[in-house]
A = this chain, B = another copy of it.
Amino acid sequence: MPYMPITESMFLIAETREQPMHVGGLQLFVPRAGQSASELAEEFVVRFNTCTDLDPLFRKRPATPATVMGYVAWSHDDDIDFDYHVRRSVLPRPGRVRELLRYVSLQHSALLDRNRPMWEVHIIEGLEDGRVALYTKIHHSLIDGVSALRMLQRTLTADPEDRNGSAPWDPALYRRAPKPSSSSSSSSSRIPDLSGALDLAGSALDVGGQIVGMLPATARIAWTALTNKDFAAPFRPAPRTMLDVPIGSARRFAAQQWSTDRLRDVAQQMGITLNDVVIAMCSGALRSYLIDHDELPDTPLIAAVPVSLHIAGAEGKDGNSITAILANMATDEPDPERRLQTLVNSMRESKRVIRGLSPLQALAYGAATIASLAFATVPGFVRYTPPQLNIIISNVPGPSEHMYWNGARLDGVYPVSVVMEGLALNITVTTTAEHVNFGLIGARKELPSLQRLLTHLDTALEELEKVANVTSSGTD
């Protein structure tokens, strides 16, 4: 039985019924010409159920599911109960996106069974707009959120005529995959040019994993490197808000996409990055949401933003580090222009500091930034300690061209992430050919009317367009 490192078992240990530790992805597909939604759904069902050779990742389960024995090893199942793992569902009428989000909300609240490989795929019909949705759920001990999204992309191709659509667990996909190279441009290869980008960016939980994964000796070296330079970590106390509370198990998922052109226009006009625009949209939306609930704190919210580092002299994948920076969200600032400026300055300053650090220091910086997350599962920790940060906002680059599964076009892909005690909301953003897709997952009871954040994000983008003096490039 393969040994289970602490970076994997920590997600089993930290998991409670209030805090499920699985990540998910919601993909939306438009059937190919002449194909009905139910034909496409049927195609998914048939292809998935007949792909009975599984990559080992999809056969892995904890050798000892009960906590009493500890989580020391993985075992692999040979016999997979497809009827359990692959689920076909139909949305109730009227089949709006709202019914889809509700379905994902409820499913994402439920724990995975630890006595079998910890994943599920839901093939969802009944959308009034004729699209078919796939909701995929996989335990965080098996894969991090970014890698999960990447794995889902592996079944796709840029070739609309390709009819080799397979299941995410098909081992052939992994054998066929070209070696990731950060300089390869996307072409007709099955694997889009995600690899480079995704190796660089990372979800905050990746960093979380790295912290806990550091052996004491490693951690001490990293910390020493950091403190020897007399570098003051930019820890300012984050305000206590409705985001920083113990949570129940129920979730609410909200998702919407905006045209990439709209965000890019703002970025170009203002001389900032697309990611700055994403964070600024979140800032404006969170401010409005907190005002709705009469909960806006006097001091600004602090967001952890995972960033990629291109470190001079270190070429290739291994020379890059995933880290996280803290951003001043400037939510206390009513004026959109000043809010944007404060936020962008804060992001730039943090990145400048990071770039001056060695890779080891940078890693330790990221670790220190979100160190408190490791304690989120200690009972009472959240209630009695001031928060270090209020929210994690991740931006994951997606495919830059249209992608297809068996001729059906991927129309949107939304990450469905993890929320934790003390971090009741997670925003993860991913980009596809033409859209920036926001996936918001939150604790259902603690964050009422979470879906209103979508309207507020839209308003925030309009405000930014006014600030940048660009006009909206039309409907989304």
Of B83, B110, B380, the residue contacting A110 (CB under 8 A) is B110
Say whether B18 contacts A250, CB under 8 Å. Answer: no
Decide: A114 and B248 in contact? CB cutoff 8 A.
yes
Residues in B with CB closer than 8 Å to A116 are 248, 250, 445
CB contacts under 8 Å to B, within A125-149, are: 125-126
Stretch at the interface among A84-92, A332-340, A422-430: A84-92
Interface hits, A236-275 → B, CB 8 Å: 246-250
Chain A, interface SS category? loop
Q: Contacts A88-B92, A92-B90, A125-B92: A81 and B444 contacting too (C-beta < 8 A)?
A: yes
| Residue in chain B with minimal CB distance to A120 | B106
CB of A111 within 8 A of CB of B444, answer: no
Which residues of chain B are near A445, meaning CB under 8 Å?
Answer: 81, 115-116
A379 surroundings in chain B (CB, below 8 A): 66, 68
Q: Is A7 an interface residue (CB 8 A)?
A: no
A107 (CB) vs chain B CBs: closest residue: B110
Q: Using a CB-CB cutoff of 8 Å, which residues 339-386 of chain A contact chain B?
A: 379-380
Question: Measured between C-beta atoms, what is the minimum distance from A244 to chain B in Å?
Answer: 17
The CA-CA distance from A92 to B132 in the complex, in Å, is 13
A65 at the interface (CB under 8 A from B): yes
A444-B115 Cα distance, complex, nearest whole Å: 10
| Nearest Cβ on chain B to A39's Cβ, whole angstroms | 11
Could you tell me if B126 and A90 are in contact, using CB atoms closer than 8 angstroms? yes
A160 CB → nearest B CB, Å: 27
> Is there an interface contact between B90 and A250, defined as CB atoms closer than 8 Å?
no
- Which residue in B38, B91, B250 is a CB contact (below 8 Å) of A93? B38
- Identify 19 new A-B residue pairs, CB closer than 8 A, beyond the known A18-B65, A18-B66, A89-B90: A18-B114, A38-B93, A65-B248, A68-B379, A81-B444, A84-B444, A89-B92, A90-B93, A109-B113, A111-B111, A113-B248, A113-B249, A113-B250, A114-B249, A115-B247, A115-B248, A115-B250, A116-B248, A116-B445
Please name the 7 residue pairs, one residue from A and one from B, whose CB atoms are nearest each other, closest first: A115-B248, A90-B90, A88-B92, A68-B379, A110-B110, A113-B249, A113-B250
Query: Can you report 8 A-B residue pairs in the complex whose CB atoms are below 8 A from each other?
Result: A65-B248, A81-B250, A83-B102, A84-B250, A89-B90, A90-B92, A113-B248, A115-B249
